[in-house]
Structure 1
């Protein structure tokens, strides 16, 4: 019995894949489609005017090296002080997963994530740190910062 039949207040957002009808229009799985559609969604800051910090760790970031095509793995740390909007976590997860098959350098990935977070929620301050797993005996940590009103991009 599904949760929604046991308790109608516990309706599932996404039923289990085996309970979904087959999708004949697309060879992509439902999760892959959600990742492709993924964009940063925000909601109103419940405490505008009170500076507080949000720290989010995304330990399963992956992308591909634009030169070799080898996979790169990283932990992405996002720390920001919201202004009027806050980033919704599930949307952030899907957005981060969209990098999985992108050929992008460590430096560009971190800077692009920062640009997209700033465009989505216009925080007072934001820092993105990408701690990339060592490959070929090289360990890279990239950090990019934004401060509202700072003339640098």
Structure 2
């Protein structure tokens, strides 16, 4: 695989996990169907970060939906970015909204939403949702499929 402006930077290469979300580089490639309105979904059922107060691990089921425009996010770079939160101390809201806002700002899709379904800490599950605005008319948007908390898994 050659390094060209449109070639993925990480795909097919041994790439270490970034140590922080700020260090992580998200890779975008041209949308092969830019003339079509469609939605892409990424699901991360084993997302982890750290509580900024106690340092204890927090776990979430993250669902990212977006309607691409000119570019799409390359999945290995997204996996590395999400993995970089493993040792990152932040509240649930900061992680969830920050991921959505970074993807939206860099990729500039037609629309993006993220659902962070956090497992209980102290007996309270926390779900965090963010979207860039109203979805484009005519976009099929299935439910995210994560039930209200009853022992997620």
Larger fraction in helix: 1
Report the equivalent of 1:20. Answer: none
Q: Which residue number corresponds to residue 130 of structure 2?
A: 144
What is the deviation of 1:90? 0.2
Residue matched to 1:55: 41
CA distance in 2, matches of 1:35, 1:90: 16
**1:65 lines up with 2:65 in the alignment:** no
Matched, 1:117 2:98: no
1:17 aligned residue: none
Contact map agreement 2:19 2:87 (CA 8 A) in 1:
no
- CA RMSD of superposed structures (Å): 2.0
- Cα distance, 1:134 vs structure 2: 1.2
Within the alignment, does 1:87 sit opposite 2:73 as a pair?
Answer: yes
SS of corresponding position for 1:116: helix
Tell whether 2:12 aligns with 1:31.
no
Q: Please list every run of 5 or more consecutive structure 2 residues that lacks an aligned counterpart in the other structure.
A: 1-11, 135-153
Q: Is the 8 A contact 1:83 1:124 kept in 2?
A: yes
Consecutive unaligned residues of structure 1, counting only runs of 5 or more, are 1-11, 15-29, 149-153
Q: TM-score, normalised by structure 1?
A: 0.73
